[in-house]
């Protein structure tokens, strides 16, 4: 079975030949270790003018993803990084008004360091990003072309809450709930419009699943109360979902953190897939599958805080078997990491996750009885 069919069947709660695999583009550091490639060369490839939009770059990456065994991956859709405005000390302001550091010793990707639009006046004076920027469209076009029949490309279409929260500063954005709700609504409508416009164009280019990057939670729970979420985020999310459904496409949300109190509303808004189900924030796959399995396609959940960076191969195998056993019967589960394969993840653990998925994810899946909670291990120093 081809990846596309495998993924789409799963999303529609049918059992394909095996559980599909999804990752956000994994860390270049980890890829360089797996494929014995020089990290500096890989980084240089991305820093080149064409960056992620170039078909050659995608071809190289997709070949790696395919060799690893992924069925789908995603583009960002967050806007043109080459339109970022440089600040001092290797910092830039991106098209949304978020400050990134490009020279950070601990990570191989640009690193969000703070908000640029720290007042209503600054937000209003800042130009809105163009959803149909050539960069967004070329990135998707070249990814779809490079993937061919081999993999399904999920199209990133921006974000409703997260990018705006980062641009304003999450603390400011949360404060506006109380001090300036009219402005906050306007801000969220701006990003909703972006997502819909880019989504429509992406569907025209052939995308079948569209992804919003939208962290609603942190470790303890949602950043805002479920009541405020319903008031501010829900209407935007529903609008996006309705527009995409009208065109026969699916909506996927990437949200970190503990979002259990929001799950029913996320489903009601029409979201079709939810990623990454962060176990370190208490999103336990057994509980999540019991409560929401069959209502929304679950994606991810293999821990990246401890398990993939520090765990043993056996730990990883155990965790993957547990997730498959809990969530995969009847379709509706896509295996993947509980956030993304970051610089700290051990390449061999990433590969063990994929291998186990392929081996134990064959339908009909073997049910294993796992007692106790999803044990997250402390690192071995």
Partner 1 sequence: MKDEAEILGKIRDSIVNLDINSIAKLCKEAIDSNIPAYKVVTDGMSRGMEIVGKKYENGEYFLAELIMAGETMKEGMKIIKPYLKGSDLKIAGKVVIGTVRGDLHDIGKNLVVMLLEGSGFSVVDLGVDVQPEKFVEAVREHEPNIVGMSALLTTTMMEMEKVISALKNAGLRNKVKIIVGGAPVTREFAEMIGADAAARDAVEGATICKSWMGSR
Tell me, residue by residue from 226 to 245, as one string, x for binding to partner 1 by CB under 8 A and - for no binding: --x-----------------
Task: Enumerate the β-bridge partners of residue 217.
Answer: 222
363 touching partner 1, by CB under 8 A: no
| Nearest approach, Cβ of residue 177 and partner 1 (Å) | 5
- Among 89-97, 125-133, 143-151, 167-175, the segment contacting partner 1 (CB under 8 A): 167-175
The one among 49, 105, 314, 369 contacting partner 1 by CB under 8 A: 105
Q: 43 CB contacts (<8 Å, ≥6 apart)? A: 28, 108
Residue 139: Cβ-neighbour burial (10 angstroms; 0-12, 13-18, 19+): buried
The one among 35, 46, 111, 370 contacting partner 1 by CB under 8 A: 111
- 15/366 Cα distance (integer angstroms): 13
CB of 143 or CB of 302, closer to partner 1: 302
48 touching partner 1, by CB under 8 A: no
Q: 96 CB contacts (<8 Å, ≥6 apart)? A: 78, 79, 129, 163, 164, 166, 167
222 touching partner 1, by CB under 8 A: yes
| Nearest approach, Cβ of residue 178 and partner 1 (Å) | 5
DSSP string spanning 216-265? -B-SSSBSS-HHHHHHHTHHHHHHHHHHHHHTT-EEEEEE-S--GGGHHH
Tell me, residue by residue from 280 to 319, as one string, x for binding to partner 1 by CB under 8 A and - for no binding: xx----------------------xxx--x----------
343 touching partner 1, by CB under 8 A: yes
Q: What are phi and psi of 372, to 5 degrees?
A: 80, 180
206 touching partner 1, by CB under 8 A: no
CB of 191 or CB of 305, closer to partner 1: 305
Is 210 within 8 Å of 158 (Cβ atoms)? no
Cα dihedral angle (243, 249, 253, 254), rounded to 10 degrees?
A: -130
CB of 210 or CB of 280, closer to partner 1: 280
224 touching partner 1, by CB under 8 A: yes
Q: Three-class SS of residue 336? A: strand
43 touching partner 1, by CB under 8 A: no
Length of the chain: 381
CB atoms within 10 A of CB 310: 18
171 touching partner 1, by CB under 8 A: yes
Q: Identify residues 73-102 at the interface with partner 1 (CB under 8 A).
A: 101
Tell me, residue by residue from 263 to 282, as one string, x for binding to partner 1 by CB under 8 A and - for no binding: -----------------xx-
- 337/116 Cα distance (integer angstroms): 31
344 touching partner 1, by CB under 8 A: yes
| Contact positions vs partner 1 (CB under 8 A) | 101, 104-107, 111, 113-114, 170-171, 174-175, 177-179, 218-225, 228, 280-281, 304-306, 309, 342-344, 376-379, 381
């Amino acid at each position: 079975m081809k990846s596309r069919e495998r993924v789409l069947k799963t999303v529609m709660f049918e059992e394909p030949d095996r559980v599909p695999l999804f990752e956000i583009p994994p860390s270049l550091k980890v890829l360089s270790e797996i494929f014995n490639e020089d990290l500096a060369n890989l980084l240089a490839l991305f820093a080149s003018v064409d960056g992620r939009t170039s078909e050659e770059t995608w071809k190289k990456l997709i070949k790696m993803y395919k060799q690893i065994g992924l069925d789908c991956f995603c583009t960002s859709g967050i806007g043109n990084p080459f339109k970022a405005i440089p600040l001092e000390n290797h910092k830039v302001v991106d098209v949304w008004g978020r400050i990134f550091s490009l020279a950070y010793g601990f990570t191989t990707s640009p690193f969000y360091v703070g908000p640029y639009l720290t007042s209503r006046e600054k937000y209003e004076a800042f130009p809105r990003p163009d959803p149909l920027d050539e960069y967004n469209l070329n990135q998707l076009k070249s990814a779809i072309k490079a993937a061919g029949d081999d993999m399904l490309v999920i199209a990133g279409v921006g974000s409703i809450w997260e990018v705006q929260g980062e641009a304003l500063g999450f603390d400011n954005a949360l404060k506006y709930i109380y001090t300036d709700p009219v402005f906050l609504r306007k801000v969220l409508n701006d990003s909703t419009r972006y997502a819909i416009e880019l989504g429509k164009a992406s569907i025209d280019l052939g995308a079948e699943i569209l992804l919003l990057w939208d962290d609603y939670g942190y470790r303890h729970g949602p950043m805002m109360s479920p009541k405020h979420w319903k008031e501010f985020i829900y209407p935007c999310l529903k609008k996006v979902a309705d527009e995409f459904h009208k065109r026969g496409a699916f909506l996927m949300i990437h949200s970190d953190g503990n979002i259990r109190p929001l799950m029913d509303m996320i489903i009601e808004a029409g979201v079709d897939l939810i990623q990454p189900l962060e176990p370190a924030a208490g999103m336990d796959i057994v509980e999540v599958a019991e409560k929401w399995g069959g209502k929304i396609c679950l994606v991810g959940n293999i821990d990246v805080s401890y398990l993939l960076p520090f765990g043993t191969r056996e730990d990883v195998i155990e965790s993957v078997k547990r997730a498959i056993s809990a969530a995969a019967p009847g379709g509706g589960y896509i295996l993947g990491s509980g956030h993304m394969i970051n610089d700290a993840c051990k390449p061999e653990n990433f590969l063990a996750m994929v291998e186990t998925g392929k081996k134990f994810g064959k339908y009909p899946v073997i049910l294993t009885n796992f007692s106790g909670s999803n044990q997250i291990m402390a690192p071995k120093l």
